Amino acid sequence: MGPRTGEPLTAAPWWKQAVFYQIYPRSFADSDGDGIGDLAGIRSHLADLAWLGVDALWVSPFYRSPMTDFGYDVSDYCAVDPLFGNLDDFDALLASAHALGLKVIIDWVPNHTSDRHPWFVDARSDRSSGHRNWYVWRDGRPGGEPPNNWVAAFDLSAPSWTFDELTGQWYLHLFESTQPDLNWDEPAVVDAMHEVLRFWLDRGVDGFRADVIHGIGKDPDLPDDPGPVAGIPHCALNDVPVTHERLRDIRALIDGYPGDRVIVGEVFLLSTATVATYYGHDDELHLAFNFPPLFAPWQQHPWTDCIEQAYGALEPRDAWPTWVLSNHDNPRHRTRYDFAAALRREDESTRAARSEARARAAAVLLLTLRGTPFLYQGEELGLLDAVIPAERRVDPGGRDGCRAPIPWDGAADHGWPTAAGVEPWLPFPPESDHRNHHDQRDDNGSILHLYRRLIALRHRSPALTLGAFDLLETPEGVLGYRRTLDDDAYTVLINFTGEGVAVHTTGTMGRHGDGSGPAAGMRVEVSTTGSGEGQAFDGWLAADQVVLLRP
Ligand code: NOJ
Ligand code: MG
Mean pLDDT of 378-389: 98
Provide the mean pLDDT of the chain: 94
Mean pLDDT of 543-549: 97
pTM as predicted = 0.96
Phi first, then psi: what are they for 371, rounded to 5°?
A: 135, 160
The DSSP symbol for 168 reads T
Going from the Cα of 160 to the center of ligand 1, the distance in angstroms, rounded, reads 15
Confidence of residue 11 (pLDDT cuts 50, 70, 90): confident
> Does residue 385 have its Cβ closer than 6 Å to ligand 1?
no
User: Strand, helix or coil at 18?
Assistant: coil
Distance of CA 167 to the CA centre of its chain: 39
The 3-state DSSP composition of the chain as helix, strand, coil percent (nearest 5) reads 30, 15, 50
CB atoms within 10 A of CB 471: 15
Residues 69, 239, 266, 380: which is the catalytic one?
A: 266
> Does residue 69 have its Cβ closer than 6 Å to ligand 1?
yes
Question: What is the percentage of the chain residues whose pLDDT exceeds 90?
Answer: 90
Mean pLDDT of 323-334: 97
Give the separation between CA 434 and CA 189, rounded to whole angstroms.
49
CATH of span 468-550: 2.60.40.1180
pLDDT in tens, 30-48: 999 999 999 999 999 999 9
pLDDT in tens, 90-144: 999 999 999 999 999 999 999 999 999 999 999 999 999 999 999 999 999 999 9
List beta partners, residue 489.
484
Give the separation between CA 380 and CA 21, rounded to whole angstroms.
10
> Does residue 212 have its Cβ closer than 6 Å to ligand 1?
yes
CA dihedral 528, 533, 538, 540 (to 10 degrees): -10
Ligand nearest to the CA of 74: 1
Ligand nearest to the CA of 89: 2
pLDDT confidence of residue 341: 64
> Does residue 175 have its Cβ closer than 6 Å to ligand 1?
yes
Going from the Cα of 38 to the center of ligand 2, the distance in angstroms, rounded, reads 5
Residue 232, exposed/middle/buried by CB under 10 A (0-12, 13-18, 19+)? middle
Ligand nearest to the CA of 70: 1
Among 45, 65, 47, 49, smallest CA distance to 57 is for 49
Distance of CA 70 to the CA centre of its chain: 16
413 in active site: no
> Does residue 213 have its Cβ closer than 6 Å to ligand 1?
no
> Does residue 525 have its Cβ closer than 6 Å to ligand 1?
no
Which ligand 1 atom is at minimum distance from the Cα of 329?
Answer: 5
Give the separation between CA 26 and CA 39, rounded to whole angstroms.
9
Mean pLDDT of 418-441: 97
Residue 318 has pLDDT above 50, yes or no: yes
pLDDT confidence of residue 9: 65
Phi/psi class of residue 532: alpha, beta or left (left: φ > 0; alpha: ψ in -120 to 50)?
A: left
Comparing 20 with 9, the larger pLDDT belongs to 20
One-character DSSP codes across 86-134: -HHHHHHHHHHHHHTT-EEEEEE--SB--TTSHHHHHHTT-TTSTTGGG
pLDDT confidence of residue 521: 84
pLDDT confidence of residue 156: 81
> Does residue 30 have its Cβ closer than 6 Å to ligand 1?
no
User: Strand, helix or coil at 59?
Assistant: strand
Residue 143, exposed/middle/buried by CB under 10 A (0-12, 13-18, 19+)? exposed
Confidence of residue 505 (pLDDT cuts 50, 70, 90): low
Confidence of residue 262 (pLDDT cuts 50, 70, 90): very high
CB atoms within 10 A of CB 159: 20
List beta partners, residue 374.
20, 324
Residue 550 is inside which H or E element, if any?
strand 546-550
pLDDT confidence of residue 237: 97
503 Cβ contact list (under 8 Å, min separation 6)? 474, 475, 478, 480, 493, 517, 518, 519, 539, 540, 541
pLDDT confidence of residue 506: 53
Residue 510 has pLDDT above 60, yes or no: no
Ligand nearest to the CA of 174: 1
431 in active site: no
**Contact between residue 193 and residue 185 where contact means Cβ atoms under 8 Å apart:** no
Among 310, 458, 325, smallest CA distance to 379 is for 325
Least reliable range by pLDDT among 147-161, 350-364, 504-518: 504-518
Residue 10 has pLDDT above 90, yes or no: no
Mean pLDDT of 422-429: 98
**Contact between residue 54 and residue 458 where contact means Cβ atoms under 8 Å apart:** no
Mean pLDDT of 194-215: 98
pLDDT confidence of residue 504: 78
Residue of the nearest CA to atom 8 in ligand 1?
72
First to last CA, the chain: 20
Confidence of residue 155 (pLDDT cuts 50, 70, 90): confident
Going from the Cα of 217 to the center of ligand 2, the distance in angstroms, rounded, reads 36
pLDDT confidence of residue 342: 67
Which ligand 1 atom is at minimum distance from the Cα of 72?
Answer: 11
Residues 73, 107, 115, 211: which is the catalytic one?
A: 211
Question: Can you identify the CATH homologous superfamily of domain 17-113+187-453?
Answer: Glycosidases (3.20.20.80)
Confidence of residue 1 (pLDDT cuts 50, 70, 90): very low
Going from the Cα of 72 to the center of ligand 1, the distance in angstroms, rounded, reads 6
pLDDT confidence of residue 527: 98
Which ligand 1 atom is at minimum distance from the Cα of 175?
Answer: 10
Residue of the nearest CA to atom 3 in ligand 1?
329
Mean pLDDT of 229-237: 95
Which ligand 1 atom is at minimum distance from the Cα of 212?
Answer: 9
**Domain assignments of the chain as residue spans, ordered by start:** 17-113+187-453, 468-550
**Contact between residue 112 and residue 174 where contact means Cβ atoms under 8 Å apart:** yes
Least reliable range by pLDDT among 293-307, 343-357, 526-540: 343-357
Give the separation between CA 395 and CA 67, rounded to whole angstroms.
10
Residue of the nearest CA to atom 10 in ligand 1?
72
Q: What amino acid is encoded at 489 in this protein?
A: A
Least reliable range by pLDDT among 172-181, 227-236, 339-348, 539-548: 339-348
Question: What is the percentage of the chain residues whose pLDDT exceeds 70?
Answer: 95
**Contact between residue 510 and residue 473 where contact means Cβ atoms under 8 Å apart:** yes
pLDDT confidence of residue 7: 57
